[in-house]
């Protein structure tokens, strides 16, 4: 189904919000001495955007270490996210998780995750809850091309298939796991080829094209909602920057390759597409959304900086639902 005008506006707004969050939030976090755990998803905006456009707050996603885009696409407030990156108490995780653990249960966001493919079974579990309680919810498990080779993913695809769970396995194939090219680690040509081994449909789409992602995800999500079980959706995309800010990607890939992908920028592709379609959405409207995203990040940084640091006693909070604090500090000679 082709997206209507409101949906088109939302798709672009989400993409530009992700882009602006990454371009502003990653360096700002670095300036606050917390860059070790931050991964930019610039270049990959179309994937979470096109997928999550089919989800409501009641649906679930599990995310990765490169998860800011997933959070934003799923409706997590960028201001709160920025506070989390800065280690502040107004972050959704109260500053205790940071970039690799952003979770917002009110938005069905089951967390970014520092363990590659670590959130996949969480999404499968959310799908199981939905099935048992007949909630009609679906879950999406995001993972990378590197994550595609984790054993847990394969066990999950099999289990979700035999139990016919409403879950979509979404591989963001950006060509690299850290410095390792996808073709080195993957035994098949495409991750989506593996769907056959688990008796589920496999979709392979251009992850730089939000319309292609939107269309394939729409099919996978409606199948899942209808009770027809899981699907594997692979979106071929690219991360523009290094694995982290410490990585120089030109040690393992070429400038020509980078230029090739940047020329297919998802925001630019969208813009060109709108013009070709006779300005269903005008350049001015797109510029306006870019500007709003820029201003939003301005506000997010200010909000995050104004948010208080966690109080010392919070180190003992939220470890358990119920556990004596004394047992956590006993014998440790803590200063708090």
Ligand X SMILES: Cc1ncc(C[n+]2csc(CCOP(=O)(O)OP(=O)(O)O)c2C)c(N)n1
By CB under 5 A, name the binding residues for Mg ion. Answer: 144-145, 174, 177
Q: Which is nearer to ligand X, 111 or 229 (CB)?
A: 111
261 binds ligand X per the rule CB under 6 A: no
Cβ distance to ligand X smaller for residue 163 or 240: 240
**CB-CB contact of 220 with 167 (8 Å):** no
The answer to whether residue 146 forms part of the interface with ligand X (CB under 6 A) is: yes
List the interface residues with another protein, window 14-73 (CB under 8 A): 33-37
- Chain positions 102 to 141 lying near another protein, rule: CB under 8 A, are 113-116, 118
How far is it, in rounded angstroms, from Cα 293 to Cα 308? 24
269-305 b/e (C-beta count within 10 Å ≥ 16 → b) = bbbeebeeeeeebeeeebeebbeebeebbeebbebbe
* Cα dihedral sign, 96-97-103-104: positive
Contact 63, 119 (CB under 8 A): yes
Q: In the bound complex, which residue of the shown chain has the CB atom lying closest to Mg ion?
A: 144
Residue 114, interface with ligand X (CB under 6 A)? yes
CA-to-CA distance for 16 and 7, rounded, in angstroms? Answer: 14
Of 88, 107, 108, the C-alpha closest to 99 is: 88
> Taking contact as CB under 8 A, which single stretch among the options 70-78, 132-140, 272-280, 315-323 is the one that binds another protein?
315-323
Taking the complex as a whole, how short is the minimal distance between the CB of residue 334 and another protein, in angstroms?
6
CB–CB of 111/102 below 8 Å?
yes
The residues in 150-209 that bind another protein, with binding defined as CB under 8 A, are 150-152, 177-181, 183-186
Q: Which residues bind another protein (CB under 8 A)?
A: 33-37, 87-89, 93, 95-98, 100-101, 113-116, 118, 146-147, 149-152, 177-181, 183-186, 251-254, 309-310, 312, 314-316, 319, 327-336
Q: Which residues bind ligand X (CB under 6 A)?
A: 64-66, 114-116, 144-147, 174, 176-178, 243
């Amino acid at each position: 189904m082709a997206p209507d005008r409101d949906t088109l506006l939302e798709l672009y707004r989400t993409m530009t919000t992700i882009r602006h969050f990454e371009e502003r939030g990653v360096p700002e976090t670095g300036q606050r001495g917390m860059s070790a755990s931050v991964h930019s998803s610039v270049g990959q905006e179309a994937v979470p955007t096109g997928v999550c456009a089919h989800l409501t707050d009641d649906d679930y996603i599990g995310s990765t270490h490169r998860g800011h885009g997933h959070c934003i696409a799923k409706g997590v407030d960028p201001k709160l996210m920025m506070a989390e990156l800065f280690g502040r108490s107004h972050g959704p995780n109260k500053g205790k998780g940071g970039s690799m653990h952003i979770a917002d249960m009110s938005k069905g966001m089951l967390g970014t995750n520092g363990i590659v493919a670590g959130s996949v079974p969480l999404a499968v579990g959310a799908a199981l809850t939905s099935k048992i309680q007949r909630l009609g919810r679906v879950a999406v498990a995001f993972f990378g091309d590197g994550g595609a080779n984790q054993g847990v993913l394969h066990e999950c695809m099999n289990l979700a298939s035999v139990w016919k769970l409403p879950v979509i396995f979404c591989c963001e194939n950006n060509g690299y796991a850290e410095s390792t090219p996808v073709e080195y680690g993957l035994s098949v040509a495409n991750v989506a080829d593996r769907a056959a081994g688990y008796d589920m449909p496999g979709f392979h789409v251009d992850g730089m094209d939000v319309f292609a992602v939107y269309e394939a995800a729409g099919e996978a999500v409606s199948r899942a909602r209808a009770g027809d079980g899981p699907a594997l959706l692979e979106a071929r995309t690219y991360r523009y920057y290094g694995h982290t800010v410490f990585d120089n990607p030109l040690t393992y890939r070429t400038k020509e390759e980078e230029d090739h992908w940047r020329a297919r920028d998802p925001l630019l592709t969208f813009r060109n597409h709108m013009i070709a379609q006779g300005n269903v959405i005008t350049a001015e409207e797109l510029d306006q959304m870019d500007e709003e995203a820029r201003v939003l990040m301005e506000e997010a940084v200010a909000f995050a900086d104004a948010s208080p640091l966690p109080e010392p006693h919070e180190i003992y909070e939220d470890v358990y639902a119920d556990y004596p604090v004394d047992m956590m500090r006993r014998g440790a000679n803590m200063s708090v």
